[in-house]
């Protein structure tokens, strides 16, 4: 799709105008007919669909299922691509240290930070771990961070928000997120504390489920009190698999989902966000509110905000250091003239991006099992597919050859949906409101605890089971959630069995 078309669509979306989604410009008429046929929603639940086992097309990994299953490279990578992937893997796992250090290619951490490595948050490339539901077993937060925002209070704030130059207004002293670690000689910004309130939900068939409603607060603020009107949103590190294929979904397919009538009042909409390379407003795909447009930019944001490391996209050596934290700017940084002007030079950034783009999605399991097929039928009948759109054929002109023209099954529309007050955080990001979240992909969800036995679900990890995650759905998903509540115990078990097969 041309930059002009995307820019026009972005302008219309920001203005609130309706626009018919464009037709895919990467397909011939014959291709378009094939793609339409293969991505049509199934009506036959007596057997698995053709190619359904290969969730990521030719990129799907068939490796042995174990704790490392999310760390495999795309199966269709070239030899050269695998070499780049392995180098990126090493950088993704590397622990960074504070400056000055004898390990000059690995220093520059902080001064304020949330983790020392990418892998520390994305456990074995899967979901992160919340600090713990039991206060007696609580550990320091690493993978769970707190987004911080305040309401706009000036005309300049409103201008920056309207133009997309600013996704939200950060807390004036503490910035866009709480850094709960700091280098020696500097206080951390504070400590996250969580309290959970049990909420009992009655289900059809005499069953009940207990949800855990979190409340967050910040203890021991290191730089004075936070603004009284600060908005706090907890965010858990998501799984890394299949990101390159999600980036390769054609924008026209995402926008077509936004324009379609899915019933139940479902009305997903795109988030239009700033591409820091071009300064243009483009389609957001990644992060919990679709606030990042590419895997590269999402990775660079994490280097800057989570670890305080400079890259060619975000050049400050001081990460999230803010006015009012003067001592932060006096700390040494890790940029080495002989290695480049950034702590993570462009070449290393490219390796990490390559790795993040090509973490493979595992092959499906038990796709012909009767209970799995029964659960799949219930998934469709409950209208979960209104948001968790099962399949796409990726763009023929995707950036990387291994992502081109692949039939994939991610179960997402990459759009924003109002999920109701139960999940609302009050924090807006670009066009996403305080109650809107991007539909997360479901591929690989059944292997979540194979990779990380302590993993939980939803944006802040509050759901200890897949059923709990469903029961938190509200807003546009309320009708689908209520259908699950009304199912018999056997039907709910079948639905979960289907999800565990993904």
Question: Which of 169, 188, 181 shows the shortest CA–CA distance to 227?
Answer: 169
Contact 341, 349 (CB under 8 A): no
Cα-Cα-Cα-Cα torsion 310, 315, 316, 317, nearest 10 degrees, comes to 30
pLDDT at position 14 is 47
Q: Which residues pair with 97 in a beta bridge?
A: 107
Q: Where are the alpha helices (DSSP H) in 94-247?
A: 118-121, 155-163, 243-247
CB 212 within 8 A of CB 198: yes
Give every residue of the chain whose pLDDT is below 70, as ranges: 1-21, 135-141
Domain ranges of the chain: 29-501
Q: Which residues pair with 282 in a beta bridge?
A: 273
Residue with tokens 């546009």: 476
43 burial via Cβ count (<10 Å: 0-12, 13-18, 19+): exposed
CB burial of residue 351 (10 Å; 0-12, 13-18, 19+): buried
Nearest-angstrom CA–CA distance, 400 and 395 = 10
Supply φ then ψ for residue 80, to 5 degrees. -65, -40
Q: What is the pLDDT of residue 138?
A: 63
Q: What is the pTM (predicted TM-score) of this model?
A: 0.94
Residue 201 phi, psi (nearest 5): -120, 125
Judge whether 182 and 113 are in contact, CB under 8 Å.
Answer: yes
How far, in Å, CA of 498 to CA of 367, rounded?
8
DSSP code, position 290 = T
pLDDT at residue 20, as a whole number: 64
CB 320 within 8 A of CB 179: yes
Q: 3-state secondary structure string, 10-69?
A: HHHHHHCCCCCCCCCCCCCHHHHHHHHHHCCCCCCCCCCCCCCCCCCHHHCECCCCCCCH
Task: Tell me how far apart the alpha carbons of residues 446 and 39 are, in angstroms, rounded to a whole number.
Answer: 23
pLDDT at 33: 96
Question: In sequence order, which residues have a C-beta less than 8 Å from that of residue 461 and are 6 or more positions away?
Answer: 127, 128, 129, 130, 144, 234, 236, 455
Confidence at residue 260, expressed as pLDDT on a 0 to 100 scale: 94
Say what the pLDDT of residue 336 is: 87
- Structure-derived torsion over alpha carbons of residues 175, 176, 178, 184, reported in degrees to the nearest 10: -50
Question: How confident is the model over 235-284, as pLDDT tens digits?
Answer: 999 999 999 999 999 999 999 999 999 999 999 999 999 999 999 999 99
Residue 137 pLDDT: 64
- Per-residue confidence (pLDDT) for residue 104, from 0 to 100: 77
């Amino acid at each position: 799709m041309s930059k002009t078309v995307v820019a026009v669509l972005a302008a219309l979306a920001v203005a609130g105008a309706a626009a018919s989604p464009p037709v895919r410009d990467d397909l011939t008429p014959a291709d378009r007919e094939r793609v339409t046929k293969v991505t049509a929603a199934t009506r036959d639940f007596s057997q698995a669909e053709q190619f359904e086992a290969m969730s990521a097309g030719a990129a799907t990994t068939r490796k042995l299922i174990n704790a490392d299953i999310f760390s495999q490279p795309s199966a269709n990578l070239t030899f050269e691509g695998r070499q780049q992937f392995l180098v990126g893997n090493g950088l993704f796992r590397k622990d960074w240290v504070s400056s000055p250090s004898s390990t000059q290619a690995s220093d520059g951490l902080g001064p304020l930070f949330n983790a020392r490595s990418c892998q520390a948050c994305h456990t074995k490339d899967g979901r992160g771990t919340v600090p713990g539901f039991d206060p007696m077993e609580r550990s320091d937060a690493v993978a769970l961070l707190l987004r911080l925002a305040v309401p706009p209070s000036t005309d300049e704030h409103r201008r920056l928000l309207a133009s997309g130059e600013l996704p939200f207004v950060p807390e004036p002293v503490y910035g866009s997120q709480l850094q709960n670690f700091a280098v020696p000689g500097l206080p951390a910004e504070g400590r996250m504390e969580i309290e959970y309130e049990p909420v009992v939900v009655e289900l059809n068939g005499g069953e009940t489920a207990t949800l855990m409603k979190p409340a967050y607060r910040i203890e021991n603020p290191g730089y004075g009190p936070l603004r009284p009107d600060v908005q706090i949103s907890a965010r858990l590190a998501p799984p890394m698999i299949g990101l390159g294929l999600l980036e390769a979904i054609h924008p026209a397919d995402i926008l077509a989902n936004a324009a379609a009538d899915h019933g139940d009042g479902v009305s997903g909409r795109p988030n239009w966000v700033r591409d820091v390379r071009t300064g243009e407003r483009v389609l957001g795909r990644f992060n919990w509110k679709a606030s990042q447009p590419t895997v590269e930019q999402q990775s660079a944001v994490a280097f800057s905000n989570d670890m305080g490391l400079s890259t060619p996209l975000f050049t400050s050596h001081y990460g999230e250091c803010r006015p009012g934290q003067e001592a932060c700017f006096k700390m040494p940084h890790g940029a080495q003239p002989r290695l480049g002007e950034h702590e993570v030079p462009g070449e290393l950034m490219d390796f990490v991006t390559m790795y993040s783009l090509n973490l493979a999605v595992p092959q499906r399991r038990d796709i012909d099992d009767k209970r799995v097929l029964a659960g799949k039928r219930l998934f469709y009948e409950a209208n979960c597919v209104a948001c968790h759109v099962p399949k796409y054929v990726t763009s023929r002109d995707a950036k990387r050859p291994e992502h081109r023209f692949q039939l994939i099954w991610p179960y997402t529309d990459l759009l924003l949906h109002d999920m109701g007050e139960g999940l609302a955080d009050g924090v807006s990001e670009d066009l996403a409101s305080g109650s809107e979240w991007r539909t997360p992909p479901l591929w690989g969800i059944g292997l979540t605890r194979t990779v990380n036995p302590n993993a939980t679900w939803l944006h802040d990890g509050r759901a200890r089971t897949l059923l709990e995650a469903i029961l938190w759905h509200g807003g546009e998903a309320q009708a689908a959630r209520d259908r699950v509540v009304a199912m018999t115990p056997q039907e709910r078990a079948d639905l979960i069995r289907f999800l565990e097969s993904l």
